[in-house]
Amino acid sequence: MAKTLFEKIWDSHVVVDERNGRSLLYVDRHLVHEVTSPQAFDGLRMNKRKVRRTDLTFATMDHNVPTSNRSLPIVDQTSAVQIKTLERNCKEFGIELFDINSPNQGIVHVIGPELGITLPGTTIVCGDSHTSTHGAFGALAFGIGTSDVEHVLATQCILMEKPKTFEINVVGKRKNPHTITAKDIILSIIRQIGTAGGTGTAFEYRGETISDLSMEQRMTICNMSIEGGARAGIIAPDEKTFDYLRGRRYVPKNYDELVEYWKENLKTDSNARFDKSFTLRADEIAPQVSWGTNPAMTVDVTGKVPFPEEYAKGNAEEQKAAVKALQYMGLKSGTPITDIELDRIFIGSCTNSRLEDLIEASKVVNGKKISPKMRAMIVPGSQHVKKQAEEMGLDKIFKDAGFEWRESGCSMCLGMNPDILSAGERCASTSNRNFEGRQGAGGRTHLVSPVMAAAAAIYGHFVDVRELDLN
């Protein structure tokens, strides 16, 4: 029977088929961080259980860590306790930890691929919804809750209902891939299918535009699958995937043999059927800017803040939500997006904090100064990204322009560490969620690509990056 890539990986990991749509799946890689794991380790201790496969489990600290000077003690005592707790748990249960001083530390979804922990055809879980990122490598990657973290630690398996398959086709050549980015593609998709469009499904991104993307761009797309409601997002691996991973620290010794197998097997059969399908024409999209309090509340940079009825298209509940969102965001319908003035810029997060994101942003910033009223921050996704960027002199470009150059972590994407917005502050952010209070209580988040955020830093308001000379 013809199968999709998702079905092939699913089927090859079934340990027990319960025949009710639910299966016990084997987990090849388990990534652990400080926020969603303490209660899971407590559960193991209470029941005198061990971690079944310490060799397949990797931990880091990212959500909570300060991004300022790491030689200083952590001021926030509850954060310090959570970080210490992860250290203690990893030691007690024998798990490899990339701690705050490790050269491998970083956002869990940045370091997984960077270290070659993420591999095509594998199942990967992590107690974080953006685990879908790893799907960019042709892995089946799920975000899970803490009870499931405990379940995987104890059994190396996860009990799951099989999601339906959802094909997301992206076709058409972008006029300028430096200005119409992967972020604009995924925001356009979510804007059209809605934040619950993918509920109960796993996305497979396909089409010529996806093939043209670099690995880092593919990660940006898969990362935000959860923002479209999907359990996972996957892209079939190709030469770019295999080249990216070759030689990385944790790839298995039989890598070349694996590549031969992956080439043959990790693709959707030509006559396979998807349960759902959606097509985006990438040649028709503009840079995207979110205006509201969920990622589907997004418009073109050339557009205006919409009227609630225009956004809701007849759905009374959505209309109410739009009224509330405009109020929270302090925006008036009909305002051109490029008239929106900003206070803060955040370039970072598991969506857009990789080397390529920083290179692209630096091209906009090079030789310029940020708007005097602005506070702008670059938070590299990992220590490796930071180091590579510094070797290329990107830190100097950003610092000369007035940006803060930080240590790696999740930082202001969710504001668990001291990097937060004050009430009423407006931020152009390369992160993934513009929920109320996400970046700080009362803070107002606009989701954009790294080049759009960088341009907004210079001009003090949103600008259409297509009008800038980026060569």
Q: Which of residues 174-203 bind another protein (CB under 8 A)?
A: 195-196, 199-200
Residue 259 or 458 having the CB closest to another protein:
259
Which of 112, 380, 415, 450: binder of another protein (CB under 8 A)? 415
Q: Could you give the CA distance from residue 337 to residue 177 in angstroms, rounded to a whole number?
A: 21
Q: Please, what is the angle between helix 394-401 and helix 355-365, to 10°? A: 40
User: Does 157 interact with another protein (rule: CB under 8 A)?
Assistant: yes
User: Does 145 interact with another protein (rule: CB under 8 A)?
Assistant: yes
Residue 280, beta-bridge partner list: 170
Which of 112, 229, 237, 348: binder of another protein (CB under 8 A)? 229
User: Does 330 interact with another protein (rule: CB under 8 A)?
Assistant: no
User: Does 53 interact with another protein (rule: CB under 8 A)?
Assistant: yes
User: Does 47 interact with another protein (rule: CB under 8 A)?
Assistant: yes
For 23, the token pair is 């299966």
Helix, strand counts (H, E) of the chain: 16, 19
User: Does 38 interact with another protein (rule: CB under 8 A)?
Assistant: yes
Q: Which stretch binds another protein (CB under 8 A): 173-181, 225-233, 235-243, 387-395?
A: 225-233
195 contacts: CB under 8 Å, gap ≥ 6: 227, 228, 229, 294, 295, 296
Which of 2, 11, 16, 243: binder of another protein (CB under 8 A)? 16
For 76, the token pair is 């926030």
User: Does 275 interact with another protein (rule: CB under 8 A)?
Assistant: no
Residue 33 or 384 having the CB closest to another protein:
33
Tell me if 16 sits within 8 A of 25, measured CB to CB: no
Q: Which stretch binds another protein (CB under 8 A): 159-167, 215-223, 233-241, 360-368?
A: 159-167
Compute the radius of gyration of the chain from its Cα atoms. 21
Q: How far is the CB of 443 from another protein (least distance, A)?
A: 11
For 441, the token pair is 């209580």
Which of 1, 19, 20, 73: binder of another protein (CB under 8 A)? 20
Residue 197 or 287 having the CB closest to another protein:
197
Tell me if 141 sits within 8 A of 232, measured CB to CB: yes
Tell me if 221 sits within 8 A of 186, measured CB to CB: yes
# residues near another protein by CB under 8 A: 76
Residue 32 or 456 having the CB closest to another protein:
32
Q: Could you give the CA distance from residue 61 to residue 432 in angstroms, rounded to a whole number?
A: 19
User: Does 460 interact with another protein (rule: CB under 8 A)?
Assistant: no
User: Does 267 interact with another protein (rule: CB under 8 A)?
Assistant: no
Which of 144, 219, 378, 448: binder of another protein (CB under 8 A)? 144
Q: Could you give the CA distance from residue 338 to residue 395 in angstroms, rounded to a whole number?
A: 28
Q: Quick count: other Cβ atoms within 10 Å of Cβ 380?
A: 31
Residue 68 or 302 having the CB closest to another protein:
68
Q: Could you give the CA distance from residue 349 to residue 332 in angstroms, rounded to a whole number?
A: 28
User: Does 327 interact with another protein (rule: CB under 8 A)?
Assistant: no
Residue 143 or 348 having the CB closest to another protein:
143
Q: Could you give the CA distance from residue 227 to residue 85 in angstroms, rounded to a whole number?
A: 30
Q: What stretches of 139-264 adopt beta strand conformation (E)?
A: 140-143, 157-161, 164-171, 201-206, 232-234
Q: Quick count: other Cβ atoms within 10 Å of Cβ 260?
A: 12
User: Does 441 interact with another protein (rule: CB under 8 A)?
Assistant: yes
User: Does 294 interact with another protein (rule: CB under 8 A)?
Assistant: yes
Q: How far is the CB of 126 from another protein (least distance, A)?
A: 9
Residue 145 or 330 having the CB closest to another protein:
145
User: Does 82 interact with another protein (rule: CB under 8 A)?
Assistant: yes
User: Does 147 interact with another protein (rule: CB under 8 A)?
Assistant: yes
Q: Which stretch binds another protein (CB under 8 A): 169-177, 214-222, 318-326, 376-384?
A: 318-326
Closest CA relative to residue 412, chosen from 437, 385, 388? 437
Exposed e or buried b per residue across 50-79, where buried means at least 16 C-beta atoms within 10 angstroms of its C-beta: ebbbeebbbbbbbbbbbbeeeeeebeeeeb
User: Does 422 interact with another protein (rule: CB under 8 A)?
Assistant: no
User: Does 252 interact with another protein (rule: CB under 8 A)?
Assistant: yes
User: Does 411 interact with another protein (rule: CB under 8 A)?
Assistant: no
Q: How far is the CB of 416 from another protein (least distance, A)?
A: 5
Which of 239, 317, 391, 469: binder of another protein (CB under 8 A)? 317
User: Does 97 interact with another protein (rule: CB under 8 A)?
Assistant: no
User: Does 56 interact with another protein (rule: CB under 8 A)?
Assistant: yes
Tell me if 143 sits within 8 A of 132, measured CB to CB: yes
Residue 56 or 389 having the CB closest to another protein:
56
* DSSP classification of residue 230: -
Q: How far is the CB of 227 from another protein (least distance, A)?
A: 8
Task: Give the type of residue at 401.
Answer: A
Task: Give the type of residue at 21.
Answer: G
